[in-house]
């Protein structure tokens, strides 16, 4: 089982796409084990996006992610990191496959609706930024035997 950190970003929340985006992950079979609605602070955003510090888009990225509330969640499942990234689509929405969240619902890189961890290690690091251990719920879903072999 892997875990991945997902952020339904401010543009998605403002556009009323929160439910649509969560629906796609749920329908895929990923299990929600943590979720919160929050205004991401500058400090948290800097920690989350530390790898991009110094890049041309960094300031704009921080302004965007802190501009309005987000929904942050942890999803669990086999190959959850890659599965979620595929459901999200490529970073630049104009390159993202139709059928993906970005490919169906977004146009510009700076308004690409969703974040998903890019590796298991990144996921662990990012989850620790947003969630305390006791905010993640271990539970079994009635549908699990029909989704997981």
CB 5 within 8 Å of CB 53: no
In a 13 Å sphere around the CA of 68, the CA atoms on its Cβ side amount to: 12
Min CB(118)–Mg ion separation in Å:
5
Q: Which is nearer to ligand DAT, 50 or 137 (CB)?
A: 50
The span of 20-28, 38-46, 69-77, 105-113 binding ligand DAT (CB under 6 A) equals: 105-113
- DSSP code of residue 53: T
Task: State the nearest-atom distance from the C-beta of 13 to ligand DAT, in Å.
Answer: 15
Q: Is 91 in the site for ligand DAT (CB under 6 A)?
A: yes
* All residues at 6 or more sequence positions from 79 whose CB lies less than 8 Å from its CB, including other chains: 2
Residue 52 annotated among the catalytic residues of the structure: no
Catalytic residue ranges: 115
């Amino acid at each position: 089982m892997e875990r991945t950190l997902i952020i339904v970003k401010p543009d998605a929340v403002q556009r009323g796409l929160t439910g649509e985006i969560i629906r796609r992950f749920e329908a895929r079979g990923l299990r929600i084990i943590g979720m919160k609605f929050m205004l991401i602070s500058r400090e948290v955003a800097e920690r989350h996006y530390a790898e991009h510090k110094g890049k041309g888009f960094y300031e704009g990225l921080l302004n965007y992610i802190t501009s309005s509330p987000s929904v942050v969640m942890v999803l669990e499942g086999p190959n959850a990191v890659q599965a979620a990234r595929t459901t999200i689509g490529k970073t630049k929405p104009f390159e993202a496959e139709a059928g993906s969240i970005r490919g169906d619902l977004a146009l510009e890189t700076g308004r690409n609706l969703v974040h998903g961890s890019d590796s298991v290690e990144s996921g662990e690091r990012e989850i620790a930024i947003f969630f305390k251990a006791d905010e993640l719920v271990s539970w079994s879903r009635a549908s699990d035997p029909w989704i997981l072999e």
